[in-house]
Amino acid sequence: MAIYILFEGFSHGLSAIPYGAAIFKLMVSVLALYLLKRFFGGATYASDRLMHSKVVMITGGTSGVGAAVARALALKGAQIVLLTHHAPSDPFLVDFVMDLREQTNNELIFAEQVDLSSLHSIRLFATKWIDNAPPRRLDMLILCAATMTPLFNKVQDETEDGVEVNWGVNYLANFHLLSILSPALRAQPPDRDVRVIMATCSSYVTGTLDLKDEEFQERGFASAKKARTSAYGASKLALMIFAHSFQQHLTAYQRPDKQPPNARVYLVDPSWTRTPGMRRFLTGGSLWGLLLYLLTWPLWWLVLKSPEQGAQGFLRAATDPELGIGVGGKLLRECKEAMLLREEVRDEGVGKELWGVSEKMIESLEKEGVERRKREKEPVKNAEGGGMEAKEKASGAGKSVGGGSKASSRSKRNRKAA
């Protein structure tokens, strides 16, 4: 029957087949939609490499691309340490970890509380991690966490330390975390394949860094009158410059065993992906924006990658054996090595200057944080001290009253005895 219908269509045209023209148009539309989806979905990477005994630390691993990366590596047997701002006892985090363990049949999935918007929280975790003898095993550090200020947002968001949120979370937090964890990465045995993978974005091309500006040296872009998109691009540009400087920092380390350095840094551009952060950016953080996003969702479904598609570059950076040899510092886009479009990314002078500015900025912000926490504790101490003084006075008054009553009773007995 099908052969006869096709024969009629080829012999006498689509008009000879009932609804032939409509069916043909539908088939062409479905094929075009499929090809467009494949095009926007990007490249895929398949690897049979197992990750048993590997300890992988991931930021942003509870949503979006980070969650997809964590799940894929957990399926390969890796031990996953999720760095999240949620407390370990948070019901959401407990359910997330338990579900991930069940889905991947991997019990080696844990969570540590690290708030990337707080330099103090980062230092507490990182110093606790490296304060161990012998050094804890750490094979891989994947930095997926990032933020982007929503479109048309007139309010300038800041971190707990008073830094513009894009600069503070996307760059300064990663710089602070890696600076402290550097000894743990360099102390790994020479036969261990150690990798640091950072998430970047093509918007780094639009970023500008004014390292001589005093306002920038103090707060990043907190007080500068710049567009939010330029602040985001600047944070990604700074992260890429730091990635190459950190690779040089790891390579220059002279190991006590005289073995060559075994830690490599890679940058991954997942492209535009349907993540909670992207949805917040497109909706502008408003209900009307969310409604518009829902109405145009088919368009975003077509042109934006899914989190699993966006994770493909990270999976190659994490599992490709070829990337475990040679020199790091490469940029991966669509699972392939891509060319850098900004010369200052590899400029050693710019890298050293940015490193120095970042250290001074963190030192200043941490000192302010210490003073702020002291001021926050003072009212509590004063209240507690005032309560203790009141109790002491009350108890002292009770004793004096009691003592007076006893003395008076004794005096009465003495008078009677007399």
Which sequence positions are flagged as catalytic?
Answer: 236
382 Cβ contact list (under 8 Å, min separation 6) = none
- Residue 311: both structure tokens together: 């994770």
The answer to whether the CB of 149 falls within 8 A of the CB of 157 is yes
Per-residue DSSP letter, 169: I
Strand partners, 79: 55
CA–CA separation, 185 and 140 (whole Å):
9
Q: Which of 308, 239, 306 is nearest to 279 (CA)?
A: 306
Q: Which amino acid is at 277?
A: G
In Å, what is the CA distance from 28 to each residue of 31, 75, 386? 5, 38, 80
> Locate tokens 């010369």: which residue?
343
Distance CA 345, CA 343 (A): 5
What are the structure tokens assigned to 215, written together?
Answer: 């306002």
Tell me the three state secondary structure of residue 78.
coil
- Nearest CA to 56 out of 43, 44, 72 is that of 72
User: Do 177 and 122 touch, CB atoms closer than 8 A?
Assistant: yes
For the chain, the 3-state helix, strand and coil shares in percent, each to the nearest 5, are 60, 10, 30
Residue 338 half-sphere exposure toward CB, CA atoms < 13 A: 19
How far apart (Å, rounded) are the C-alpha atoms in residues 8 and 172?
Answer: 68
Helices (H), 275-326: 276-283, 287-295, 297-303, 307-310, 312-319
